[in-house]
Amino acid sequence: MDIQKTHNIGTLGPSMKGQKVTVAGWVEDLRELGKLTFLTLRDVTGVSQIVVAGPDNLAQVKDLTRQSVVRILGTVQESKARDFTFEIKADTIDVLSRAVHPLPIDPLGRLESGIDNRLNARALDLRNQKTAAIFKLRHNTLLCIRKTLTDLGFLEVNTPKIIGSASEGGANLFSLKYFDKQAYLAQSPQLYKEQLTLGLERIFEISSFYRAEKSHTVRHLTEFTSIDIEAAFMDYTDVMQILESLVVNVFEYVEKNCISEQKSLGIEIKKPKAPFDRVTYTQAIEELGKQGLELQFGDDLLDSHLRKLGELHPGFYFLTDWPLKLKPFYIHEKDDPSLSKSFDLQYGYLELSSGGRRLHDPQKIRARLVEQGLNPAQFEDHLRAFDWGMPPHSGWGLGLDRLMAVLTQIDNVREVVLYPRDPERLFP
């Protein structure tokens, strides 16, 4: 039995009246009307009405279950149906695969299923046009990110995810047996991407990273996708500029190129206004103080503080110049050494990205490691590279899953990840 199709449904139209086509897809609906049966057939590009007549063909579709896979050789004709501008009169029908009922979820979304049931049947959930739209948006977002960064002279790289030493401290790392050695799953490409600036100047990576955090929130996963850049000869304000224009570009790109996906999701994506507000940490704790949330310089901003700041600054804004002691050992200090050349990109309460200028003097890094209770000896592989002509550099990491949640106006990152991993979920 042949299994190929000549056309995707999305490429058909009423102007092709009289043309023979072979289409294939999933049966969304079946209605018997006297001597005719009307099939609604969907493939990934669109949906069409199929008119079935004649005893042989009617027998083929008689007990056909919804979501079964069929291949239809037929003729395009005008349609009188309200929802269709054309239809296909079936000559031959092949049933390629039968869906076994009851299905675990209603893939059309008419009967709403909870997120857990949907994730347990994720492959089927993708036949829901709302779910499919999320992942088409995600694809287009990645396309635009790769294009934007490439145009800015960044080279895409892949750094290891299996690492031999607990690079940034050790908390939150998944460990695994690597033959007879101890290994870990990378929680970020931080050290590698910094090293790469001395050979390649501007690099980016898009990859999964792993955090062994028992967080039960709508913004944390144990496996998440990060977009990371690192650039030689740039200060933190330069890479903030890149991040801002990247976010604006993505919104503009999907606003223009993903019309039907926005319709499926019932949302309107609008390019955000730039420049984004820039709020220093010191200004932020002053603003919070006025709201009755007293903080001392050096206190970290907790969820409750970020929620309040999010109310004061809806949309995108940068939180900059954090106290140095709140930042990792590789972050560069400002002229006032209690402050750091660092920033977070926020969307309301939600942190989307962290970045900053990095130290490039290995003596300073060693001192900071000691200050933070880390052992410089464990970083010697990394620090060696700083004697080979390490340029001053800056970078950031942007959580793709959180960005997609903002873009799709969905709260839970699990919705925008195909097979999310969290402390409770390891299957499917």
Binding residues for Mg(2+): 351, 354
Interface positions, 320-359, toward Mn ion (CB under 5 A):
354
CB 137, CB 254: distance < 8 Å = yes
CB 77, CB 86: distance < 8 Å = yes
Nearer to Mn ion, 90 or 403 (CB): 403
Residue 221 interacts with ligand ATP (CB under 6 A)? Answer: yes
Distance separating alpha carbons of residues 135 and 127, to the nearest angstrom? 11
Distance separating alpha carbons of residues 202 and 193, to the nearest angstrom? 9
How many binding residues for Mn ion (CB under 5 A)?
1
Distance separating alpha carbons of residues 211 and 128, to the nearest angstrom? 30
- Which residue ranges are tagged as binding site? 168, 211-213, 219-221, 351, 354, 358, 399-402
- DSSP string covering 178-209: ETTEEEEE-S-SHHHHHHHHHHHSEEEEEEEE
Residue 362 interacts with ligand ATP (CB under 6 A)? Answer: no
Nearer to Mn ion, 159 or 354 (CB): 354
Least gap, CB of 172 to ligand ATP (angstroms):
8
Residue 264 interacts with Mn ion (CB under 5 A)? Answer: no
Least gap, CB of 174 to ligand ATP (angstroms):
12
Residue 323 has a CB neighbour count (10 Å cut-off) of 18
Residue 138 interacts with ligand ATP (CB under 6 A)? Answer: no
Nearer to Mn ion, 118 or 327 (CB): 327
Place of tokens 């989307």: 352
Least gap, CB of 280 to ligand ATP (angstroms):
18
Distance separating alpha carbons of residues 421 and 114, to the nearest angstrom? 17
Distance separating alpha carbons of residues 308 and 348, to the nearest angstrom? 9
Nearer to Mn ion, 67 or 354 (CB): 354
Which of Mn ion, ligand ATP, none has residue 402 at its interface (CB below 5 to 8 Å by kind)?
Answer: ligand ATP
Interface positions, 181-220, toward ligand ATP (CB under 6 A):
211, 213, 220
- Which residue ranges are tagged as binding site for L-aspartate? 168, 211, 354, 358
User: Residue 78 in 3-state DSSP?
Assistant: strand
Q: What angle do CA 115, 119, 122 make, to 5 degrees?
A: 130
Q: Check the CA dihedral 383-183-186-302 and report its sign.
A: negative
Nearer to Mn ion, 350 or 385 (CB): 350
When binding is defined by CB under 6 A, the residue of 399, 404, 405, 420 that contacts ligand ATP is: 399
Which residues make up the interface to ligand ATP (CB under 6 A)?
211, 213, 220-221, 224, 226, 351-354, 397, 399, 401-402, 413
Return residues touching Mn ion (CB under 5 A).
Answer: 354
